[in-house]
Amino acid sequence: MEIFPAIDLLDSKAVRLTKGDKSSAKIYGNALDFAKYFEDCGAKWLHVIDLDGAFEGSPRNLNTIESIVNNTSLRVQVGGGIRTEETIINYMRTGATRTILGSIAVQDSEWCKNMALQYPIAISIDSKHGKVATHGWVEVSQIDALSFVKRFANSQIEAIICTDINQDGLLSGMNLRLTQEIACASNIFTIASGGFSNIKELDEIKKYSQIGGVIIGKAFYEGIVDFKNIKF
């Protein structure tokens, strides 16, 4: 199982939100310093979200992300406001390994599948009460998450990132049942996100055979999980 330490960027700083609420942002410090720490702990991947980009619809922290790529050996998957091919290309030029499409995937899933024929693409399935949310989780559609992910079955999409917004940032445990269902419906490498609570949960996640990875954010920043104690 692949472990993805997470950095959420707001005004170039590493922050965490609760349930995606921008007003709940808690600043933790310099993003590059955290990225280097994760690398020192043995991490191979880094999950980065440009929150400014997610809320505003276009990237706002490109320089910070480029700095992380250039100053670590981490493979970086990045998302937040990526809605054009030009933006995907710009991230590829920085050295990012994979770009994450969210809101645009709801608006135009065929375009996303076409992009995946040319670039390394992940799709973010962010759900609230089983319905897909977009635009920085501010808008909730009437699209069922399980039905939605089936659009990408048999495509070249590299990964699906499944987040239950109701769990995100609460440190109360992940919605692993939903993540497993998403993985089975798509047959694509699926990453669990939102609500990771403690190191013991890693053993629980491993019981779900279709889940390929997990994103860990707030549990680290709040001192509950030390990446030095995790085998990457």
Which residues neighbour 131 within 8 Å (Cβ) at sequence distance 6 or greater?
140, 141, 142, 143, 144, 145
Phi, psi of 12, rounded to the nearest 5 degrees: 70, 5
Give CA–CA dist 218/20, Å, rounded.
12
In the set 8, 52, 164, 168, the catalytic residue is: 8
Which residues neighbour 185 within 8 Å (Cβ) at sequence distance 6 or greater?
146, 149, 150, 153
- Conformation bin of residue 62: beta by default, left when phi > 0, alpha when psi is -120 to 50: alpha
Residue 50 annotated in active site? no
Q: Is residue 94 exposed (0-12), middle (13-18) or buried (19+ Cβ within 10 Å)?
A: middle
Closest CA to 194 of 211, 227, 107: 211
Kind of pairing between the strands at 98-101 and 121-128: parallel
Q: How far apart are the first and last CA of the chain?
A: 8
Closest CA to 186 of 215, 143, 157, 163: 157
In the set 50, 126, 164, 168, the catalytic residue is: 126
Chain centre to alpha carbon of residue 140: 18
Residue 203 annotated in active site? no
Give the active site residues. Answer: 8, 126
